[in-house]
Structure 1
Amino acid sequence: MKKLLLLVIVWVMVSLYPSIGYAESLSTPSGIPTADIEETVDAIMEAYIEEDVPGASVSIVQNGEIVFQKGYGLANREKEQPVHPETTYMEAGSVSKLYTWTAIMQLVEEGQLTLDTDVRPYLKGGESALTYDEPITVAHLMTHTAGFEERVEDLTVYDPDHLFELEEYLAPDRQPKQLYPPGDVVAYSNFSTNLAGYVVEELTGMAFADYVEQLILTPLEMEHSTFDVRYDRIPGLMDEKAVGYTKKGTEWVAKPTAYINDNPAGGLTTTTNDLAYFMLAHLNREQSGSYVLFNEPQTLDTMHQTLYTPHPDMAGNAHGFWERQAGDYRVLEHGGNTDAFSALLSIVPDEQFGIAVMTNMDGEMAGARRELTDVLIGKSTETPQATDGMNHSEAVEGRYRSARSVETGPMKIMPFLSDGDSVISANQEGGITLSIAALGVELDYVETAPYLFEKVTEESSLLDNAGMNTTHLYFKTNDAGEVEQLSYGVIADELPISWLASPYVAYGITGGAALFTLVGLVWGIVGFIRKKKHQTLITSLHKGAIAWSFVGVLTLGLFGAIVVQLASNPFQPWSNFTFYVIGFWLLLFAFLAVLYLIVKGWHRQKGFYLIKAFIVLLGCLLASLFYLLFFLNFLYL
């Protein structure tokens, strides 16, 4: 009788608590037992907190449950306020895009649009400014292949009076230039996502933030999440919102409260606990869990399928998610950065696993986000082998620059402030080496298929930490066998550039102009003193050299000032630079006026070969400098 009673008790315990033994047997995709997750994550985060990251929040889901969440470091250093995953608000940055694409897929499911819908009518007059006649589809927006340049003017503002309604923010006069034919080049585009958010508004008659609130956040019980651009007016939110920081030297410096005009592309304020609910919904394939995003399971399956890839053996874009192969697993993810926060959301649909990480620092590239996913999900350990007969290493050599570029406005200068171009060179092993000077990146690859190269360097790089997938490089060629673009499969392709477009040419022009103008000023002053002392006339050539040197010094001074102002706030309105444009034009006219006087007196002054040679070189350098200003859009806005 006692044995029978014991058997009944055991059966009841198993019936009432069937998940206890199951949960203990769970492990992450990389094989770490669920029971050891906290110890593992603690060890990783302790290496970064305070030194590289002021505060962070981590949430992990698996098999329909939140299996771990924890805060690290401080949300507010001044108040010594710790990070709590359930209540500490942080800015999700471009992770917000996943909500926009989810909204689009909901409307696709309802039949209000398709992935092939032409979105040009939603440009509201901006169609005429497009460079190409081909349709721009919803799929192009999702995969960042619509062809738009990047435009950051007013993306982030510090005065809420400078916030725009979405329709106003996307007005034709603010529309970025279309640089590439739709579908040809991956060029990460906030404007594309914002346009998709505007499509949501037009089709539903609801403000974008209201639609997401009612159709995504509320059903998923995301009570600590909002797309309200004036999040600061939500009662209690600012008391719980983390302060964003940047590191200057060894000190963490608080950044001011910022507001996002790019709302569909980066306006989500949330917690990692709420991101966990979003991950659970995206992992709920059978719709058996509490959180459901779509009416039909097939819609979720479709959203997780590859929509674009430059090569069948590479990761690509899955309806807004970026793909990445981590060991044996296909990961769907999206990172995000704002002026003072960083985030990463990664899910492994086949393993019902997901991890969300948020930090309160700008542009986290120390590796905390990437190391967490590598340790918990896994990373490739096999070293690729070169395929015999593949010998395109020399054919792909050259300098490449990101297709995510700014062509209009003063921010065109950005690639010239540091050498961030990718340099491809053939190496002694028969493969290629990717070098990026600004990031200290040097990675080796072998060719495994025609023009497809796989990385053999085991260590992760700053490029990986920043969100790029460096495992594969594919070089697209034209019919003549010339390389047209380099593709990582995600974020942004890169295009070949000539040596004339390298930053070193710009450095040479500005450095040479600085040297010659300073020499000219010193020479002119010394010559002026000597002429006065000996009471001899100063020739027109000497006067011209002094005048040009003075013009050069003022031009370089304005050039330096505009760079400093851009660095202080790259998001400021272009109108802030009107003063510089006027100044450059006045100096250009002064340069031309002096040129006229020099030419007029050139043949009257016999001899003076040394100063004539100096004037020719100085004139060429100043002319090159003004051309550089024209090229960088500093002579017009």
Structure 2
Amino acid sequence: MHRVGREAILAAGAASAAVALSAATAGVAQAEQPRDTDPGAAAEAIVDAIVPGQLADDRIPGAAVAVVADGRIVFSQGYGLADVEESRPVDAQHTGFFPASVAKTFTAMALSRLIGQGALDPHADVNRYLDDLQVPDTFPGQPVTAADLLTHTGGFDNDVVGRASASGAGLPSLGRSVADAPPARVRAPGSVVAYDNYGFALGGHLVEEVTGRPFAEYVRETVLAPAGMHSTTLAQPHPPAVDESLATGYRPAGDGYEEARGQFGAWTPTGAGVVTTAADVGRFMLAQLGPDPALGRGVTERVQRQHYAQDDRVPGMAYGFAERAWSGHRVLVKDGDLPGFHSNLALVPDAGVGVFITYNGDGEDGAAFWDAKELTRAVVRGLVPPAPDHAGAGGAGAASGAQVDDTSRYAGTYRPSTVSSDSVMRFAGLTSSVQVRADGAGRITTTGLSMDPSVQEQHWVQQTPGVFTEEGGPGRIAFDDGVLAGGGPEATAYERLSWYEDPGWHLIAIGTAAIVLLLAAAGYPAVAGWERWRRARSPVPARIARGAICARLSAWLTGVLGTAFACQFAVLVADGNLLSERVLLGSPLLTSLPWLGAALVLPVAGTIVTAPVAWIRGWWTVPGRAAFTVVTVAGTVFVAGAANYGLVALPG
């Protein structure tokens, strides 16, 4: 990448701020723009023009922003309310926010320090350092390493159900938590990037094992204090002074707000329970962007260097940060999301620019998640102009002289690597897949890949075989061996599914079956009442009558339990903001669902056994037997679908 001086970049970037504001929000390239050499004023103009509208339109109570440039914090400001009931305003210097997974960068700094001291080999089996647990040898000869943990490539299943707490009191120790319920190893380490909270929790415990000190204490003394982050704490419960200035997290509810829970937990290295201020994160960004010996020579350079790429042709992973390519610059990003709190941090190392955004509200339909990214991108584009050798946004055609292959080879359905394989949260795979459609020579269309909720489809133009740039946008994706890389959230790849794994037709089949079971739940009592009233049943031997009654009872129970299951699932997922809280806290509404699925197995088995008997012995009328058979098939499909997505509790 062509490099230019930070001062030149900042001068040109701040000069373009007025035009960059509209261009960044519209997603178009920058042209020649007027001069304004104050990056603080430029940042203020952009943020002031965007944040108040986000808070009002998306129903988010408050936000705080910090921007660093030219070796200093050039802008920090609070917006809206930290507490709705108290009408307490947000103060960027003093109001505490839960930064959530942004705190994983603190963990990365701690581990990088130990690596630099030679106390931890990043490529050695982590079991070498662990005394109180051992990572199972699921993939012989392929041990999990610290580098795997720091790049989200450890291969652990994404299981966070019940990992959070409504308060910081009574939590188990970090070591006990990672040892008691480790998720399954579902991939060979280093094979696929998949966002991994357990991996970072285990990485934090490595710090404890190597240093013999509590994780929170080590990070405070070696990362937070040297960076001047005196308003940041990893302690749980919080010191009283922290709670006094802490913002309350909210989600929209009716015409007002409802307090969100689930920000605490034993996995502090992942961000659980961590509290900071926008100003403190500003100091952290300065420590990242400047050669500060207090953090250890080479520590920040090691953290920021690329350590893994799912595909060498698209950005990859640093330690704790994900890489992005914006306007020809390498940008390091880290977002953080907990119920009621959403944050985004971005560093542009070659320009010395850093941006941190945090909100204390989910927003309508989870809007704060995207709002943080949209605002970050607007500020970065306003302060940092395109690199001199940057060709601009996505092209209108394939690169000159490029070999264009048959794009139908990439068509199909792809599932995010972050979808759980071994927990109840496997059901997320029903609605999170990405569709890739071939549009002729050198072109494809993706559906479901963009993080922007307003963008359903993206169109891509092939640059070289397997590599595509977004038409009219900044995106770049690559395909290799059935894996799509470079799009979607950070630390996520997309793995191609076989036709029978496609959740599209699974949804149709399960939805149709649910309708049939609802009709069965209501219909069988109606039929029984009608028959009793008309006294229409033909006399049959008692043995056959009892069998027919048991068969109908099985069909009715199948309908009732299936309908109850479908209703409970619908309530669970109806509010995406509330779903996040229920998952992290392990709500009974979620954890009991697989047991309801297991209860459904018995009556379905009863219908399967009795359906052929009904035809052989001539129970009921032909339409009655046909209806019974339809219920049997629907119940079987429904249970099979629920089991496939982890919603049936199986023995063992």
TM-score, normalised with respect to structure 1: 0.85
Shift of 1:354: 1.4
Q: Aligned runs of 1:401-480 on 2, under 5 Å? A: 401-416=415-430, 419-428=431-440, 430-436=442-448, 439=453, 440-458=455-473, 471-477=475-481
CA contact (8 A) 1:324 1:332 kept: yes
Equivalence map 1:149-168=2 (5 Å): 149-161=157-169, 163-168=171-176
* Alignment deviations for residues 419-454 of structure 1 (CA, whole Å, 9 cap, x no partner): 321111112573111111994421111111220111
How far 1:28 sits from its partner (Å)? 4.1
Instruction: State the one-letter code of the partner of 1:263.
Output: T
**How big is the shift at 1:386?**
0.8
Give the equivalent residue in structure 2 for 1:130.
Answer: 138
* Percent of residue pairs bearing the same amino acid type: 24
| Deviation (angstroms), 1:526 | 4.6
Q: Which residue of 1 aligns with 2:295?
A: 293
1:573/1:72 CA distance change after superposition, 3 Å:
closer
Work out whether 1:105 is the aligned partner of 2:112.
yes
Alignment partner, residue 513 of structure 2: 513
Report if the CA contact (8 A) 2:99-2:336 is conserved: yes
1:54-100: CA deviation from partner (whole Å, max 9, x where unpaired): 21111111222111111111111222211111101001111101111
Q: What pairs up with 1:319-468 in 2 under 5 angstroms?
A: 319-362=319-362, 363=366, 364=368, 365-366=370-371, 367-378=374-385, 381-384=392-395, 385-387=397-399, 388-416=402-430, 419-428=431-440, 430-436=442-448, 439=453, 440-458=455-473
With over 3 angstroms needed to count, the CA separation of the structure-2 counterparts of 1:516 and 1:313, relative to structure 1, is: closer
- Tell me if structure 1 keeps the 8 A contact 2:357–2:376: yes
Partner of 2:32 in structure 1?
none
Note the C-alpha offset of 1:276.
Answer: 1.2
Query: 1:223-238, aligned counterparts within 5 Å?
Result: 223-231=230-238, 234-238=239-243
Aligned residues of 1:188 and 1:491 also touching (Cα < 8 A): yes
Q: Which amino acid aligns with 2:76?
A: Q
Cα-to-partner distance string for 1:109-139 (whole Å, 9 max, x where unaligned): 1110122121134384443363454021111
Instruction: Identify the match of residue 280 of structure 1 among 272, 281, 286.
Output: 286
| SS in structure 1 at match of 2:57 | coil
Whether contact under 8 Å (2:69, 2:354) holds in the other structure is: yes
Counterpart residue number, 1:461: none
Distance change (3 Å), C-alpha of 1:56 and 1:612: same
Change (3 A) 1:527 1:80: closer
Tell me the matched-pair count.
589
Deviation at 1:108, TM superposition (A): 1.1
The question of 1:170 aligning with 2:178 is answered: yes
State how far apart, in whole Å, the 2-side matches of 1:427 and 1:30 are.
Answer: 41
1:533/1:115 CA distance change after superposition, 3 Å: closer
For 1:543 and 1:299, how far apart are their aligned partners in 2? Answer: 70
Q: Which amino acid aligns with 1:427?
A: D
Any conservation in 1 of the 2:315–2:486 contact (CA below 8 Å)? no
1:516/1:541 Cα in 2 relative to 1: closer, same or farther (>3 Å)? farther
Partner of 1:492: 492
Is 1:76 equivalent to 2:83 in the alignment?
yes
Paired residue for 1:202? 209
In structure 2, the residue matched to 1:590 is: 603
CA pair 582-302 structure 1, distance change in 2 beyond 3 A: closer
The Cα offsets for residues 22-81 of structure 1, whole Å up to 9 and x where unpaired, read as 999956478443243322321222332332332111111122211111111111122221
Return the offset for 1:240: 0.9
| Counterpart amino acid of residue 74 in structure 1 | L
Conservation of the 8 A alpha-carbon contact between 1:514 and 1:556:
yes
Please state how far the C-alpha of 1:377 moved relative to its aligned partner: 3.2
Q: Give yes or no for contact 2:63–2:79 (8 Å, CA) kept in 1.
A: yes
Q: Which residue of 1 is the match for residue 22 of structure 2?
A: none
Contact 2:67/2:74 (<8 A) preserved: yes
Is 1:66–1:276's contact at 8 Å kept on the other side of the alignment?
A: yes
Q: 1:142 aligns with which of 135, 150, 162?
A: 150
Distance, in Å, in 2 between the alignment partners of 1:214 and 1:85 is 23
Gaps of 5+ in 2: 1-6, 18-36, 539-544, 574-578
Once the two structures are TM-superposed, the CA of residue 168 in structure 1 deviates from its matched residue by: 1.2
- What residue in structure 1 maps to residue 542 of structure 2? none
Partner of 1:531: 531
User: Residue 30 and residue 293 in structure 1: after superposition, are their counterparts in 2 closer, same or farther (change >3 A)?
Assistant: farther
Give the Å deviation of 1:586: 4.0
Return the letter of the residue paired with 2:46.
T
Kept after mapping to 2: 8 A contact 1:330/1:348: yes
| RMSD of aligned Cα (Å) | 3.0
Aligned pair in 2 of structure 1 residues 437, 346: CA closer, same or farther (>3 Å)? Answer: closer
Specify the SS of the correspondent of 1:603. Answer: helix
Task: Evaluate the alpha carbon distance shift between residue 114 and residue 392 of structure 1 in structure 2; reply closer, same or farther with a 3 A threshold.
Answer: farther
The answer to whether the Cα contact below 8 Å between 1:516 and 1:549 also exists between their aligned partners in 2 is no
CA contact (8 A) 1:580 1:634 kept: yes
The whole-number CA distance in structure 1 between the counterparts of 2:621 and 2:42 is: 82
Indicate yes or no: 2:255 matched with 1:244: no
Task: Describe the shift of the 1:563–1:150 C-alpha distance in structure 2 as closer, same or farther (beyond 3 A).
Answer: farther
Distance in 2 (CA, whole Å) between partners of 1:398 and 1:190 is 29
| 1:602 equivalent in structure 2 | 615
Q: Could you tell me whether the CA contact under 8 Å between 2:164 and 2:262 is conserved in 1?
A: no
Contact preservation (8 Å) 2:262, 2:338: no
Structure 1: segments with no counterpart, 5+ residues:
1-21, 459-469, 478-482
Larger radius of gyration between Structure 1 and Structure 2: 1
Residue 463 of structure 1 is matched in structure 2 by none
The counterpart of 1:258, out of the listed 258, 263, 277, is: 263
- In 1, Cα distance between equivalents of 2:523 and 2:50: 60
- Looking at structure 1, the residues matched to 493 and 594 of structure 2 have their Cα atoms a distance apart, in angstroms, of 32
Q: Conserved in 2, the CA contact under 8 Å of 1:544 and 1:594?
A: yes
Aligned partner of 2:276 in structure 1 is 270
Counterpart-to-counterpart distance in 2, 1:411 and 1:606: 42
Counterpart amino acid of residue 427 in structure 2: I
Which range moved further: 137-146 or 355-364? 355-364
In 1, the alpha carbon distance for the partners of 2:341 and 2:627 equals 51
Corresponding residue SS for 1:151: coil
Counterpart among 628, 635, 647 of residue 622 in structure 1: 635
Q: Whole-Å Cα distance in 2 between the matches of residues 374 and 252 of structure 1?
A: 33
